[in-house]
Amino acid sequence: MGEFRSGDVLWASLDAPVGREQTGRRPAVVIAGSEYLRLVDTLAVIVPLTSVDRGWPNHIPVPGLPGPSWAMTEQLRVVSRERLHGHLGHADAATLRRIRNWVGDFLGL
């Protein structure tokens, strides 16, 4: 995968799941900051998206994509950049902030 930045929504290949992990080819939003993406050039921190509105407060709507999408903040993943391909869009600053707030709460930051 070429260059990308925090907030980019890309296709992620998340096969070989265990338990309730998300699987298959699905959109994901990059939430790592620019310094992480610069220094750790083989990995990315992502949150997968779903097209199902479960009404959960931690599922953050991501507008501007081809279809309805919600970031599943409870499914934070660090993945190889080899799993990422195809640019679908970009989460705006307010959406990215909401996603990171939930992730930070879940991690106790």
Domains of the chain are 8-103 (2.30.30.110)
Strands 77-80 and 43-50: antiparallel
Q: Is the model's pLDDT at 22 over the cut of 90?
A: no
**What is the model's pTM?**
0.91
| The predicted structure's pLDDT at residue 15 | 77
Split at pLDDT 50, 70, 90, the class of 109 is: confident
